Amino acid sequence: GRIALEIGTTAAPDGYTLISVSAATILYPLLYKTKTDVVRDFEPVSQISAQGYCVVVHPAMPARTPPELVKVLKASPGKYQFGSSGVAGAIHLTGELFMSATGTKMLHVPYKGTAMAYTDLISGNLQVGFPTIVSALPHMKAGRIRGLGVTTPTRSPAAPELPTLA
């Protein structure tokens, strides 16, 4: 993402170059040394999509609801791990927000993409995850992970059985 932004910054401002970014892109200048200022250098055109995230656990975790997960995490601060697709990505920040909002502490394990984080979550090397709802659905339906809740303000039509964390 950062490389694409820098290329986009040097492109001719003729309206022929489009860059698709995630909401987390706004954080790049705060986290990395970059010549790009997203607000200064780009003009938003349209929102393409919106997606929510969910909190999921490995089936061996005793928690079956978000309050039960909070109770388990508070009983053993720092014992449990959650994975993400990389430092400062939306999944990582969702996990950090969850910990901040609940007063819990987990170890963040960053990966180079979501696939490796799923592999370790499914195998039990990680206990908690905060993936997108859509990417988690096949794993939840197969029983490889257990969904506890969604981050959207209301229940997701894709996973109506999961309560909102709000």
Q: Which of 156, 10, 151 lies closest to 90 in space, CA to CA?
A: 151
pLDDT tens for residues 13-66? 888 888 888 777 777 777 777 778 888 888 888 888 888 999 999 999 999 999
pLDDT at 118: 95
pLDDT tens for residues 92-149? 999 999 999 999 999 999 999 899 999 999 999 999 999 999 999 999 999 999 999 9
Query: Any long-range contacts for 31-36 (C-beta under 8 Å, 24+ apart)?
Result: 31/87, 31/88, 32/2, 34/2, 34/5, 34/6, 35/6, 35/9, 36/2, 36/5, 36/6, 36/8, 36/9
